[in-house]
Chains A and B, each alone.
Chain A
Amino acid sequence: MGHDMQGEPLQLKTDSPSWALAPYSSPVGSGQKRSFPGIFWSLQKAYAVTYYILIGVLWTILLPLPVSAAPEIKGELYSGFDYIHIKKDCPFPLESQVSSANSLELKASGLLSGDGWQFSLGVKSGQNEEDDFLSGLTLDELQLSTLFDLQGKSILVEIGKQDWQWGKCFSRIPTYPLPEENFYGMQWTLTTENRHLIIGLSAPAATPQAESKTMKEQIMRLTSHDTDPLSAERNITAWVRRGGFLASSDYDLVFSYQSRTKDSTIPACYNLGLDTSKDFLNGLEMHGSLNLRHTPKSKGMDSKTQVDCVIGGEYIWGAKTIICEVLSESDSKDTSLVWAVNNYSSFFSNYQWGLESYWNLRDDGRFLRLLLEYTGLRSLAPSLELTLFAGPEKSAIGASPVDLMVSLGMRAVL
């Protein structure tokens, strides 16, 4: 037995630093992990039960299915190493660190017998320094959809847990009131010749923004463009969208309402917005989105109205796509310039690369992200992602102690 091993200290767990949470701190919901449905809570504690449930499902439910009736099942395994570099003059007691993150996704899709309902069921599990695969197991996606014919008009009905996002903006869609997550909800889409009416309802049941526990998650939050991280904590979000298509353009008028939870201090709010885009049919497309958010007066809080807007364009140049957007948020008084270049639309290339930059014009905080993925191997894609943070210390991004994050990943389609 060697001396080094005996003398090796137990691994020190770095507590979540407060720096990254600070700009987005949530008054409620932090700390307590909330997830839905509740059965997954039990997975965290009763491991033996988890195990027997898994085996039971495999041996008793899946096996008797005849192959012809089996749904299409897809899986994806991601394994990656992250390197987070801390600035030399960082005032916090933090060290540059390497960590690993792995995830496993399984998705089944198919037709329910006879009545025209399509289903899609996705289970996701992740592993990092806080979660293992079994406790991190969540129902990531559940979609049930069907098409009804109503006097010549078709109504698409969607129920389940999914990302309900709409719009064409690259950085953020101001009219969409929820973060980029999957939420339980339902939506009805009535489509006529060139117009549509969409009514939707969603019940956010998680607080993903407040649950960012690992350093990487906190950094990713810093680079996300969600200006209202509390929106996921509201009780019900309902929306009505009325829009249509013109010769080479489209528009969407959106009204949405977010209610407050019973014990929450986060007030309800109303949103009214417009999304529009115009395709010049020469590779150039322009788009814009404007949203007015009104928060009525509530206990201890005055009413307020904030205006968020994005205006930008996208130019397809050969296999490359060039995107440029200006994002303005009246609440934080931030105006940001976002640009990106990528070849994601090039399906026959062995490489996919993308470069994107965010520059806060008010406080000069900015980050640059480079993504590179090799897609020449069948069902296996190694990738490299570099994110550089810069800006003065007073800026939200510059105040972060991290100046570089490198992620090396391997994505395998199973």
Chain B
Amino acid sequence: MKKISRLTLRPVCKDLCMLLIFLLTFLSNCSTTLAKVKPIIPYLSDHTVLGLRIDDEHKTFTPYLWAGYDLDYEEGAYKVGGKIEIVQTPTGNQTKTWLDLNYGHWPSHELAGYPYQHGFTGGILRDDGETKLAVTVFNGEIGEGDAKKSTADPRYSKAIKVTHLHINYNRLLFQDWDKKAHLIMTVTSGRPNDENQVFSATTWTLPLQIGNFRWKTQAGYIDRSDLVFPYFDLADLVRGYEEKVKTGNRSLGMTMEKHFQPFPYSDLPFISLLHLTAFADAGGVLQSGEALRDLEFHHCLGGGFLLALGRCDLRLEGVVTDEDEEKILFYIDAFFPVPDDFE
């Protein structure tokens, strides 16, 4: 049975007011030029929303409206806000800094278990070509949304009012013609508005690509409060495992992957983008209260096809886990993810 999200029970007038303010600001700002309408393409960044965005990136102050449908969670998503752009060129490299303020109902991967956030987000974003940094403060409700994947766990079914700060640091460590390495650090830390306990989630991800070989290491730690209960999922570390079966508040995972390009010089459409893949994942999660010696590493082996689409890959894979589970997976994935704020 599909659950009714409590996020949708908020007074509609507040959202309409926000929309009205946006439209007024937008019209006053775009008196001479029309704003651009662009598509929001899912899977290119850290969300799965298909929709349209209205903004004008050539202005210093840009009001914007993003609206669409989340293919993963099967619900509508939107955000309205304004962005001020400051361009600096201190040492030759152009550095862009944005001040962003928005209100909306938008998917978020900052706290696993709470895929949707509804409220105000304000922050600073900076991109110097090598480092992408986003520091945002969120005030509003986090919850499951109308997720088809919503859990029966009452801890996640209720939207919770929180204030938290999120930091996303994405650094290009190395880049050569066939080598690339990133470091991605994310920290989310805050408190529920009605509770004096803190929650936080810290993750480090180190994706590395050398030619046709890929290696990714990731580690994470979560501090929970009584009301906010994020988790790491083994399914995100080791392919083939069911989602939300093995979860914990500490995680460590590794992925090795080798690609083979069978037809690199083919003139047929998409064929030159096709890769054969062989991979192995290993990882484990620890539940709160468990000691490090209790860490059980799970692993999987698999192979399949990969269609390299640039910023993301379309994948069809068969996988066997250490628990002899066999699975066929079809999904889109980005090995070097970029936060959607930088789109």
Binding site for B on A (CB under 8 A): 1-6, 8-12, 47-48, 50-51, 54-55, 58-59, 63, 67, 77, 79, 81, 83, 95-96, 98-100, 102, 104, 125, 127, 129-135, 377-380, 410, 412, 414
Contact A79/B191 with A51-B137, A412-B169 known, Cβ cut-off 8 Å:
no
Residues of chain B from 163 to 221 with CB closer than 8 A to chain A in the complex: 163-165, 167, 169, 171, 173, 183, 185, 187, 189-191, 193, 198-200, 202, 204, 219, 221
Given the complex of chains A and B, what is the CA–CA distance between A161 and B12 in angstroms? 47
Number of A-B contacts (CB under 8 A): 151
Residue contact A51 to B163, C-beta cutoff 8 Å: yes
Chain A residues with CB under 8 Å of B191's CB are 47, 132, 134-135
In the complex, B94 has a CB within 8 A of chain A: no
Nearest neighbor of A410 in chain B, beta-carbon distance? B185
Closest 6 A/B residue pairs (Cβ): A2-B245, A47-B163, A11-B288, A100-B221, A127-B189, A133-B165
**How far apart sit A77 and B200, CA to CA, in the bound complex (Å)?**
16
Cβ 8 A contact of A132, one of B165, B171, B219, B231: B165
- Rounded to whole Å, the gap between the CB of A170 and the closest CB of chain B is 32
CA gap between A102 and B139 in the complex, in Å: 21
Contact A2 B221 (CB under 8 A): no
**At the interface, yes or no: B223 with Cβ under 8 Å from chain A?**
yes
Query: Is the Cβ of B245 less than 8 Å from the Cβ of A12?
Result: no
Q: Is B135 an interface residue (CB 8 A)?
A: yes
Cβ–Cβ < 8 Å partners of B223 in chain A: 11, 99-100, 129
Taking the nearest CB of chain A, how far is it from the CB of B224, in angstroms?
5
Q: Are B244 and A1 in contact (CB under 8 A)?
A: yes
A and B contact pairs by CB, cutoff 8 A, 22 listed: A1-B244, A2-B244, A2-B245, A3-B245, A4-B245, A8-B248, A9-B288, A11-B289, A47-B163, A51-B139, A54-B122, A55-B122, A96-B291, A96-B292, A99-B221, A100-B221, A102-B202, A104-B167, A131-B198, A133-B190, A134-B189, A380-B173
B101 within 8 A of A: yes
Of B126, B173, B187, B190, the residue contacting A414 (CB under 8 A) is B126
The closest CB in chain B to the CB of A131 belongs to B198
Which residue, of B101, B152, B167, has the highest number of chain A Cβ atoms within 10 A? B167
Query: In whole angstroms, how far apart are the Cα atoms of A318 and B245 in the complex?
Result: 57
Query: Hey, which chain A residues are within 8 Å of B245, CB to CB?
Result: 2-5
Inter-subunit contact B133/A48 (CB<8 Å): no
Within 8 Å of chain A (Cβ to Cβ): is B99? yes
A348 CA to B248 CA, complexed, in Å? 43
Query: Which residues in chain B, 224-282, are within 8 Å of chain A measured between CB atoms?
Result: 224, 226, 229, 231, 242, 244-250
* In contact, A4 and B246 (Cβ under 8 angstroms): yes
- In the bound assembly, the distance between CA atoms of A21 and B289 in angstroms comes to 24
Residue of B at shortest CB range from A50? B163
Contact B247 A5 (CB under 8 A): yes
Smallest Cβ-Cβ distance to B200: which chain A residue: A127
The distance in angstroms between the C-alpha atoms of A378 and B93, with both chains bound, is: 14
B193 and A100 form a contact (CB under 8 A): no
B153 contacts partner chain A, Cβ-Cβ < 8 Å: yes
Chain A residue at minimal CB-CB distance from B287:
A8
Judge whether B189 and A133 touch: CB under 8 Å: yes
In the complex, chain A residues whose CB is within 8 Å of the CB of B246 = 2, 4-5
- CB atoms of A8 and B193 under 8 A apart: no
B120: interface (CB < 8 Å): yes
Query: Is B288 touching A95 in the complex (CB atoms < 8 A)?
Result: no
Query: Known contacts A2-B245, A47-B139, A79-B185; is A95 also within 8 Å of B291 by CB?
Result: yes
Does B52 lie at the interface of the complex (its beta carbon under 8 Å from any beta carbon of A)?
A: no
Main secondary structure of the interface of B (DSSP, over half): strand
Given contacts A9-B288, A100-B223, contact A48 B163 (CB under 8 A): yes
Question: A81 contacts B137, CB within 8 Å?
Answer: no
**New A-B contacts (9) at CB < 8 Å, excluding given A51-B120, A81-B204, A132-B199:** A5-B151, A5-B247, A47-B190, A51-B137, A55-B120, A58-B99, A98-B292, A102-B167, A134-B137
| A410 & B289 in contact (Cβ 8 Å cutoff) | no
Cα distance, A31 to B86, chains bound together (Å): 44
Please, which residue of chain A has its CB at the minimum distance from the CB of B150?
A1
Q: Which of A54, A55, A96, A132 contacts B190 (CB 8 A)?
A: A132
B124 at the interface (CB under 8 A from A): yes
B153 close to A1 (CB less than 8 A): yes
CB distance from A34 to the nearest CB of B (A): 17
Beyond A51-B122, A51-B139, is A2–B198 a contact (Cβ under 8 Å)?
A: no
Contact of A63 among B99, B153, B165, B292 (CB under 8 A): B99
Would B164 and A132 count as touching, CB distance under 8 A? yes
Measured between alpha carbons, how far is A410 from B248 in the docked complex, in Å? 23
> Within 8 Å CB of A6, what residues of B?
153
Give A44 Cβ to nearest chain B Cβ, in Å. 8
- Cβ of B25 under 8 Å from chain A: no
Q: Shortest distance in angstroms between B222's beta carbon and chain A's nearest beta carbon?
A: 8
* In the complex, chain B residues whose CB is within 8 Å of the CB of A100: 200, 202, 221, 223
Q: Of all chain A residues, which has the CB nearest B248?
A: A8
For the complex formed, measure the closest distance between the CB of A295 and the CB atoms of chain B, giving whole angstroms. 39
Q: Which residues of A contact B139 (CB under 8 A)?
A: 47-48, 51
Kindly list chain A residues whose C-beta atoms are within 8 Å of the C-beta of B289: 9, 11-12
Q: Is the CB of B135 within 8 A of A104?
A: yes
Name B174's closest neighbour in chain A (CB-CB). Answer: A377
Bound Cα distance A6, B283 (Å): 21
- Measured between alpha carbons, how far is A213 from B101 in the docked complex, in Å? 35
Instruction: Specify which of B171, B190, B219, B231 is in contact with A380 (CB 8 Å cutoff).
Output: B171
